[in-house]
Amino acid sequence: MSPHLSTPWRKSTRSSTSNCVEVAFTTNHTVLIRDSKDAAGPRLTVSPAAWTGFATPAGRWKSSSRELPE
């Protein structure tokens, strides 16, 4: 059974192409990640802590000079 979404699927506001991922949060406290080109395809399920652990450094990298954070 699929979890119910508590937020709609969304992609980064910095995405200008269809080559990105979309993220949605569920009512059972998980984060779903999918390929924006294949909405019916497989989804990766992670905890909110895992998503924050990924998204926070990725946001710093994206907004900087594109060098990986140390």
Task: Give me the residue spans of the domains in the chain.
Answer: 10-60
Q: Tell me the two tokens of residue 31.
A: 């984060």
- The answer to whether the CB of 50 falls within 8 A of the CB of 31 is yes
Model-level pTM? 0.69
Only one residue has tokens 């995405």, namely 15
Phi, psi (rounded to 5 degrees) for 62: -65, -35
pLDDT in tens, 3-61: 687 778 888 766 666 678 888 988 888 999 988 888 889 999 999 999 888 888 766 65
pLDDT at 10: 87
How far, in Å, CA of 53 to CA of 70, rounded? 14
Q: Tell me the two tokens of residue 22.
A: 């979309």
How far, in Å, CA of 68 to CA of 16, rounded? 21
